[in-house]
Structure formats: structure tokens, C-alpha cells
Amino acid sequence: MRVLVTGAKGQLGQDVVRLFESAGHQVLASDRNTLDITDDATCLKVVKEFKPNAIIHCAAYTAVDQAERDVDAAYAVNAVGTRNLVLAAEQVKAKFCYISTDYVFDGSDILPYQEYDNTNPQSVYGKSKRAGEILVQSLSSAFFIVRTSWVYGLYGNNFVKTMLKLGQEKPVLSVVNDQKGSPTYTVDLAAFLLELIQTEKYGIYHASNSGECTWYEFAQAIFEEARDIFGQTYPVQVKPCTTEDFPRPAPRPRNSVMDHLSIRTNGFQDLRPWREALKAFIKELKASQEH
């Protein structure tokens, strides 16, 4: 397959490119320097020249707190940029895969969110990503919307790397214990996208590593796994705190846990448990540092 990947320099995008290329697909890896998705003419030109069979749209405005002040920029990328790519994809009859987020939900529900539950985003970031979803659903004739959560991987900044860094610098860390979700390892998400894109099982999917935890429980697990794998002690003490203890400009969903109904009903294998994935990532991190 010929696959165009946007956001190819990002945390997920780099693993998607790596995995798709190693599976033998012809990949055009584009980032903001090579493809300005907010320019419709540029999108059309790039897509018509490359003629992809599929577009994996990883590019997004993801600065959650900054988006509260920078509303136009968030919508320009997440809504307008997505529309531009979908319209270009339709010109060459390419499948379209849009990476979305748990932030399209308000997080007030007690149960895990299913794919076709009503969305109710509370932040500008969540609203702009939902706007992108609506445009994909309205304009694409062959789409996958893949919502994910709490993403981490080898490339870029993320919660796991931040915890490991702070764990060596600070004696005590306070971590929020009243927001729960499912951490997602980029390698596992990319592997799911690779399988999904080769089918015609279109629709909305929730894809995260299975199981759930709070940020506090996630932090504890990070230090436990790191102690085993790196063989070093992290003297840090992790203490639970509340969302109110750490006020942020953008509201966070209290419950980000997503049920993988579409993965089950479409016959895909679910992503492995989050703790297993975390262990694999810390091993990958160790190997990369040794290189």
C-alpha cells in the first residue's frame, strides 16, 4: 500500500512510519515543514502527486492548555486541516484514518465510554478534535476514527519520561489520583493501525492498552518497572493528590476509560494490558539509551 502519514515527526507518527515501512508499505512521511495541512491547495497537490491508498492523519494541535487561549490555531489544525486532507483523500479514493482522543468525552460517566456514546467535550482541544471527527464522518466515504488516550512512546515528551526524570530529581512527587484512564504505548497503537488500515471495517474505534488506572497508580507502576529494568533505586515518594490541587487552564476528563466495543465486534485482537506495555516501553527506553 501507498500510505501518507501526517504528523510523521510526532510521538505516534514516528512509530507509525517505522512500523508501516518495516511491513513493506510505501510511506510518504510528512510533517509541518513538508505539508501545511491548513492550506487546502497544498493538501490537494501532495495527495494527487503521491496517490496514497490510505492516509493516517496523526498531525494535530495537542497543546491542551495552550488551546484554551489559542482557539483559532487549535481549530485551524484539528478541524480545517482535517477537512482539507479528507477532501484530498476523496479525490484519489484513499481510506482515511483520523487519530482522535478521549477528550471528546466530558469524563463524568462512571462506566467506560463506548464508541457511539454521546460526546460532550469540555476543553477547546476536545471540541476542536470532535469538530475534526464530524468533518471526517461527513466528508469521507471510507473512514476510520481511532480515539486513544494517555499516549507515550520513545519519541517526544510524555508522562512516563517526565516521571522518570523527576524521580531522580525530587524526593516527593504529588500525582493526581482522581482521574482514571488507560495508558497507550505508541508501538501497540501503531500495530493496531497497521492491521486496521488493511481492512474495510470502517467506523469509530477506541484503541488504548487494556485495563485502567489513575495517574497516581500509573506513576507508581512506572517506578516499580523502572527499578526492575534499570536496576536502580528511585528514592522518590509518590503521593496521591486531587485535580483541585493542580488547577490547569483546560478541564481534564475524570474518567477517560474507553470500552473497546468496536475492536471486539469487528474481530480484532485487543491491545495488551497497559502494565505489560509499560514494561515493554521501559525496556525499549533502556535499549535506546544504551545505544
CB-count burial class (<10 Å; 0-12, 13-18, 19+) for 49? exposed
Spatial separation of the C-alpha atoms in residues 53 and 208, rounded to whole Å: 25
Whether 203 maps to a domain, the answer reads yes
Range of the domain at 206: 2-157+183-211+256-272
26 forms bridges with which residues in the sheet? 2
Whether 11 maps to a domain, the answer reads yes
Question: Which residues are CB-neighbours of 53 under 8 A, at least 6 positions away?
Answer: 1, 2, 3, 94, 95
Number of independent structural domains in the chain: 1
pLDDT tens-digit readout, 170-186: 999 999 999 999 999 99
Whether 58 maps to a domain, the answer reads yes
| Mean per-residue pLDDT, 91-100 | 98
pLDDT tens-digit readout, 137-174: 999 999 999 999 999 999 999 999 999 999 999 999 99
Whether 281 maps to a domain, the answer reads no
Range 10-33 burial, b when 16+ CB lie within 10 A, else e: bbbbbbbbbbbeeeebebbbbbbe
Q: All 3 cell numbers of residue 285?
A: 527506553
Q: Given 61, 75, 125, 152, which residue is catalytic?
A: 125
Whether 251 maps to a domain, the answer reads no
Whether 32 maps to a domain, the answer reads yes
Task: Inform me whether the pLDDT recorded for 232 exceeds 90.
Answer: no
Q: All 3 cell numbers of residue 29?
A: 512521511
Strands 151-152 and 143-148: unpaired
Any idea which residue has 480515539 for its cell?
147
pLDDT tens-digit readout, 256-265: 999 999 999 9
Confirm whether 98 is a catalytic residue: no
